[in-house]
Amino acid sequence: MPPDAAPPSTPARARFAFDVSEAVPLAGRFELAASWIAPTGLAPGDPVTLLVCLPGGFLSRRYFDLVVDGSRRYSFAEAMAARGHAVLAFDHLGTGDSTKPTPEEAGLSIGVDAITAADQAALEQACARIRAGDPASGTPPLEIARCIGAGHSMGSMLTVEQQALARPHDALLLFSFSTAGTPRFIGPDLMAYADQPERLRREMPEVLKRTMGGPY
């Protein structure tokens, strides 16, 4: 940055929690946590590009808003906000600050379909809040001009699943993901399912027990 350049303004931030209990095949209340990062200075009715970010396996929504040595210079969310875009980063069920089923074994009942439905339910609630405005973060009512699904690894796969379910996005931005799968990295137990995706979905709880030891 040139020495006489003004530093970028701090974006507006909020933490949201959305009730997605109806999408979960278990009793109880389930919430998805989300981070809202948006440019400051937006006026009521301004159009924004909304980036909907889903993290990969073993990661949380903070992957898209990294803090390194106290600095957010590696933050994807801040970089996008500095360019006038709004970011919604979600924690999937069972990860980050979202609800974790208890006992832990109950998580085996939550498959790809339920995770995708929960992500979509949370996104619909988030979009309604953005359009209505969020006084807590000082965000006025905004027009969502376009919605882009941004995923990383497992989050990319779930973004594709969500797009197939409800078509919420105008475009997809998929990192560390391929429709070719990962045949070089899986053993014969999983390779037996390579051409049987529907069977794998049905038997996923037992497959997870055998290969991963648990739902997470």
Q: What is the pLDDT of residue 209?
A: 81
Tell me the three-class secondary structure of 74-105, residue by residue.
Answer: CCHHHHHHHCCCEEEEECCCCCCCCCCCCCHH
Length, in residues, of the chain: 216
Residue pair 55/97 in contact by the 8 Å Cβ criterion? no
The answer, yes or no, to whether the previous bond of 103 is cis (omega within 30 of 0) is yes
d(CA 15, CA 191): 40
Q: Is the dihedral of CA 112, 149, 36, 130 positive or negative?
A: negative
Q: What is the pLDDT of residue 139?
A: 87
Interior CA angle at 166 toward 160 and 170, to 5°? 70
- In which element (H, E) is residue 205 found? helix 197-211
- What is the model's pTM? 0.88
Q: What is the pLDDT along the chain (216 residues), one digit of tens a residue?
A: 444 444 457 898 999 999 999 999 999 999 999 999 999 889 999 999 999 999 998 899 999 999 999 999 999 999 999 999 999 999 999 999 999 998 888 888 888 999 999 999 999 999 999 999 988 778 899 999 999 999 999 999 999 999 999 999 999 999 998 877 777 778 888 888 888 888 988 888 888 888 777 777
Instruction: Please list the residues that pair with 134 across neighbouring strands.
Output: 139
